[in-house]
Amino acid sequence: MPFRPADDGDRTRQGVAVLLLLAVMLFAACLLSLGVGPTGVGLRDLWTYATGNSASLSTQERVILEAVRLPRTALGLLVGAGLAVSGAMMQGLFRNPLADPGIVGVTAGAGLAAVAAIVLGNGILAPVAMLLGNQFLPLMAFFGGLFNTWMLYLIATRDGRTSTTTLILSGIAIGALSVALMGLMIVMADDRQLRDITFWNLGSLGGATFGRVLSILPFIGVVMVIMPFVARGLDALVLGDAAAFHMGIPVQRLKKIVIVAVAAACGSTVAVAGSIGFVGIVVPHLLRLVMGPSHRFLLPGSALGGGALLLVADSVARTVAAPAELPIGVITALFGAPVFLFLLLGKNGITTRDMP
Amino acid sequence: MISAEHVTVARSGRKLLDNVGLDLEPGKFTVVIGPNGAGKSTLMKVISGEMKPDIGFVSYHGTGVDLCQPVELAKRRAVLPQATQLAFPFTALEIVRMGAVAQGALNPTEQARQALSRVGLRSFESRPYPSLSGGEQQRVQFARALAQVPQPVSDGVPRALFLDEPTASLDLGHQISVLEIARDFANAGGIVLAILHDLNLAAEFADHLVVLNHGRVVAEGACLETVNDEIIASVYGIAGAVGRLPAAHIPYVLPQSRHR
């Protein structure tokens, strides 16, 4: 373990220090994401641009920075933060470090709803799509994620306890059902819709626009705002529903808020970036090792760390095989799947203790 | 005073509690005894506000428990649950601090340290909870409850400690020290309700003893009136055990005879 708890058992300072470090890392990741790409526009041009000398850049360079890199960085930041925070919240809700929206089928539910939005958006859902405009896809994905999270909670939790086995297995079943229904939707789709679905499904930050950034900003923003209000409750919930209630937590209300937040963060990111796996499990897990499990620091830490990780992964995705782009989901899975396996095997006995 | 009146709880056609009435008075150490499945834990859940009775009523100083917000209840009573397992490695201090935070302490970390000292775990502050032994975990939980109600009487209102088998995984020395802390809490004007299985400990510490069987109160009052052959025989099915010393060659432990 990289850090042991401080000798007096109080990890407040440790938490603050790690948060500051993460903020610095996120800033560096933003610079990397803005300054790296196959076009040769680099950090120096970024500096020129940022210091107000944008006139000395060519139009092409300016367009690349303003219309390509900037929205992509903003989107990566929001998506990474949303994915990691939804993972951390879900693990707190289920009292299980293995809960991850991607693994337990919440992402699939959001994906199904997103595909439904694409396929039915010109058909029976056309009036709704017209009404909501840019928000249609994220909203649909949000409700899809919400539905699956709720189902999962109803199925996998008995007397306030969630067993890892039931959680993962029912999550797989719910996810498989969503994927099957998605298949049915795809069969119904026409050529243009198929193209949209394929692009969406690749799991990429490519094609980022400020429109997309704005469409998920409210969802991620709301989740960030409620984070400090659910942190203490999630900490208390680790001791069990009853103990949390004894310590003054309105348990049912807390759970509803967290379920909605998980669906909002996860659903909206799926809507704009497809399914990007493992960020929600890797980031909180690594952070628990260095700052402890308290949600006061874990949730904001996950937001910062998730944003940083995704920006780095995206920078790698668009440079290693340039000018081609690797799907970012491939990068996160290559890194995240081994961590998940490691967790599942419980090598790190202190972090994973299976609930009976 | 905390009162339960006519409390009845039925689950799948069986009455777990049947018209139970109980008054918890400030300054008194109330102990509930009874065989497995008598309804002791259910009664504690109802009184703590965690479970709503089908019939009956629980009030805290005149206010119905269902009218109290969880936050208000948390300031009035703390509950020590039976064994708790954690999925995340909080340190002992962090667990105890949750109790201090629940009560609205200005300096929860300091209050948590004091509570850990009271249960003799001062040097365990930085230990991850999952790595502690069962008994140590139980004492950390007890410290958490103490940190939640640090003063037996605060703002003129007595606070309450509810202990569900507080001695279950403790050695004899710690059984006694936990119950002595609880008795000090009661002596200072607080309310204590404990579920115990050890009749000797119950007789030693209880000001008011409640015998529960099949969801009913079969006897209550001072220990001398309640722990007698007739009642113990009818409830536990063991006759002639009370007040009879075993044959001299069988060793026995009698908590009452310890040196103080």
Q: pLDDT tens digits, residue range B172-184?
A: 999 999 999 999 9
Q: pLDDT tens digits, residue range B77-97?
A: 999 998 788 889 999 999 999
pLDDT band at A130 (very low <50, low <70, confident <90, very high): confident
> Would you list which residues of chain B are within 8 Å, Cβ to Cβ, of chain A?
45, 48-50, 69-75, 77-79, 81, 84-95, 97-99, 101-102, 109, 113, 124-128, 130-131, 148
CA pseudo-torsion sign A266, A267, A273, A277:
positive
Phi-psi domain of A203 (left: phi exceeds 0; alpha: psi -120 through 50; beta: other): left
CB atoms near residue A198 (< 10 Å): 11
End-to-end CA distance of chain A: 25
The minimal CB distance from B74 to the residues A246, A251, A356 is found for A246
From chain B, pick out residues whose CB is under 8 angstroms from the CB of A297. Answer: none
Tell me, what amino acid is at A273? A
pLDDT at B127 over 50: yes
From chain B, pick out residues whose CB is under 8 angstroms from the CB of A159. Answer: none
**Is B85 within 8 Å of A355 when comparing Cβ atoms?**
yes
CB atoms near residue B202 (< 10 Å): 23
Distance of CA A236 to the CA centre of its chain: 24
Give the residue from B88, B125, B127 with the most A CB atoms within 10 Å of its CB, the best one to mutate: B88
Interface of A with B in 259-278 (CB under 8 A): none
Choices 3.40.800.10, 1.10.760.10, 1.10.3470.10, 3.10.270.10: CATH for A12-31+42-61+71-345: 1.10.3470.10
E strands, chain B, where?
Answer: 2-11, 14-24, 29-33, 55-60, 63-64, 77-80, 153-154, 157-158, 160-164, 191-195, 208-213, 216-221
The minimal CB distance from A243 to the residues B75, B81, B88 is found for B81
**Is A294 within 8 Å of B125 when comparing Cβ atoms?**
no
The pLDDT value recorded for residue A203 is 64
The SS3 of residue B154 is strand
**Is A11 within 8 Å of B48 when comparing Cβ atoms?**
no
From chain B, pick out residues whose CB is under 8 angstroms from the CB of A247. Answer: 74, 98-99, 101-102, 148
**Is B102 within 8 Å of A293 when comparing Cβ atoms?**
no
Report yes or no: B5 and B57 within 8 Å, Cβ to Cβ. Answer: yes
pLDDT at A158 over 60: yes
Q: pLDDT tens digits, residue range A278-304?
A: 899 999 999 998 999 999 999 999 999
The mean per-residue pLDDT over the stretch A154-174 comes to 78
Strands B160-164 and B191-195: parallel
- The alpha carbon of residue B63 is apart from the nearest alpha carbon of chain A, in Å, by 17
Strands B191-195 and B29-33: parallel
Cis peptide before B130 (omega within 30 of 0): no
Interface of A with B in 290-309 (CB under 8 A): 292-294
**Is B74 within 8 Å of A9 when comparing Cβ atoms?**
no
The mean per-residue pLDDT over the stretch A119-131 comes to 78
Domain boundaries along the sequence of chain A: 12-31+42-61+71-345
- The tokens for A168 are 């993962």
The mean per-residue pLDDT over the stretch A225-232 comes to 94
pLDDT at A2 over 60: no
Report yes or no: B203 and B223 within 8 Å, Cβ to Cβ. Answer: yes
pLDDT band at A356 (very low <50, low <70, confident <90, very high): very low
Give the residue from A90, A245, A246 with the most B CB atoms within 10 Å of its CB, the best one to mutate: A246
Q: CB burial class (10 A; 0-12, 13-18, 19+) of residue A162? A: buried
- Interface confidence, given as ipTM, is 0.91
In angstroms, the CA B169 to CA B159 distance is 26
Q: How many helices (H) and strands (E) does chain B have?
A: 9, 12
Interface of A with B in 138-167 (CB under 8 A): none
The minimal CB distance from A239 to the residues B71, B74, B84 is found for B84
pLDDT at A6 over 80: no
Phi-psi domain of B37 (left: phi exceeds 0; alpha: psi -120 through 50; beta: other): left
In angstroms, the CA A336 to CA B68 distance is 45
In angstroms, the CA A310 to CA A173 distance is 28
pLDDT band at A160 (very low <50, low <70, confident <90, very high): low
Who has greater pLDDT, B137 or B239? B137
Nearest Cα to B60, choosing from B131, B158, B206?
B158
pLDDT at A75 over 80: yes
Phi (first) and psi of residue A101, to 5 degrees: -55, -35
Q: How many CA atoms lie within 13 A of A203 on its CB side?
A: 22
Contact residues for B162 (Cβ-Cβ < 8 A; gap 6+): B44, B47, B48, B77, B78, B79, B80, B193, B194
* A19 has a chain B CB within 8 A of its CB: no
From chain B, pick out residues whose CB is under 8 angstroms from the CB of A355. Answer: 85, 87
The minimal CB distance from A10 to the residues B93, B95, B102 is found for B93
- The tokens for A269 are 């990111």
- The alpha carbon of residue B144 is apart from the nearest alpha carbon of chain A, in Å, by 10
The pLDDT value recorded for residue B259 is 63
Q: CB burial class (10 A; 0-12, 13-18, 19+) of residue A59? A: exposed
From chain B, pick out residues whose CB is under 8 angstroms from the CB of A248. Answer: 69-75, 102
* A12 has a chain B CB within 8 A of its CB: yes
In angstroms, the CA A199 to CA A193 distance is 10
The SS3 of residue B122 is helix
Nearest Cα to A153, choosing from A137, A140, A134, A166?
A166
Domain boundaries along the sequence of chain B: 2-257
The minimal CB distance from B50 to the residues A238, A242, A356 is found for A242
pLDDT band at B119 (very low <50, low <70, confident <90, very high): very high
In angstroms, the CA A134 to CA B238 distance is 75
- The tokens for B35 are 């065989």
The minimal CB distance from B92 to the residues A9, A236, A249 is found for A9
> Lowest-confidence range among A127-131, A352-356, B51-55, B243-247?
A352-356
pLDDT band at B243 (very low <50, low <70, confident <90, very high): low
**Is B98 within 8 Å of A350 when comparing Cβ atoms?**
no
The SS3 of residue B187 is helix
The pLDDT value recorded for residue A349 is 46
Give the residue on A whose Cα is nearest the Cα of B81. Answer: A243
Cα R_g (chain A), whole angstroms: 20
- The tokens for A256 are 């509803």
Phi (first) and psi of residue B230, to 5 degrees: -60, -50
**Is B109 within 8 Å of A12 when comparing Cβ atoms?**
yes
In angstroms, the CA B58 to CA B44 distance is 11
In angstroms, the CA A147 to CA A154 distance is 11
Contact residues for B4 (Cβ-Cβ < 8 A; gap 6+): B20, B21, B22, B23, B43, B46, B47, B56, B57, B58
The pLDDT value recorded for residue A51 is 78
From chain A, pick out residues whose CB is under 8 angstroms from the CB of B113. Answer: 8
Q: pLDDT tens digits, residue range A77-101?
A: 999 999 999 999 999 988 888 888 8
The minimal CB distance from A239 to the residues B86, B91, B101 is found for B86
pLDDT band at B27 (very low <50, low <70, confident <90, very high): very high
pLDDT band at B248 (very low <50, low <70, confident <90, very high): very low
* A191 has a chain B CB within 8 A of its CB: no
In angstroms, the CA B85 to CA B74 distance is 21
Who has greater pLDDT, A155 or A311? A311
* A248 has a chain B CB within 8 A of its CB: yes
Q: pLDDT tens digits, residue range A342-355?
A: 877 764 444 444 43
The minimal CB distance from A6 to the residues B77, B126, B127 is found for B126
pLDDT band at B28 (very low <50, low <70, confident <90, very high): very high
The class level of CATH for B2-257 reads alpha beta
**Is A353 within 8 Å of B86 when comparing Cβ atoms?**
yes
pLDDT at B8 over 90: yes
The pLDDT value recorded for residue A161 is 63
Contact residues for A66 (Cβ-Cβ < 8 A; gap 6+): none
The SS3 of residue B33 is strand
- The alpha carbon of residue B143 is apart from the nearest alpha carbon of chain A, in Å, by 13
CA pseudo-torsion sign A262, A263, A269, A273:
positive
CA pseudo-torsion sign B26, B27, B28, B29:
positive
The pLDDT value recorded for residue A112 is 92
Instruction: State the count of interchain CB pairs (< 8 A) between A and B.
Output: 113
3-state secondary structure chain A: CCCCCCCCCCCHHHHHHHHHHHHHHHHHHHHHHHHCCCCCCCHHHHHHHHCCCHHHCCHHHHHHHHHHHHHHHHHHHHHHHHHHHHHHHHHHHHCCCCCCCCCCCHHHHHHHHHHHHHHHCCCCCHHHHHHHHHHHHHHHHHHHHHHHHHHHHHHHEECCEECHHHHHHHHHHHHHHHHHHHHHHHHHCCHHHHHHHHHHHCCCCCCCCHHHHHHHHHHHHHHHHHHHHHHHHHHHHCCCHHHHHHCCCCHHHHHHHHHHHHHHHHHHHHHHHCCCCCHHHHHHHHHHHHHCCCHHHHHHHHHHHHHHHHHHHHHHHHHCCCCCCCCHHHHHHHHHHHHHHHHHHCCCCCCCCCCC
From chain A, pick out residues whose CB is under 8 angstroms from the CB of B74. Answer: 246-248
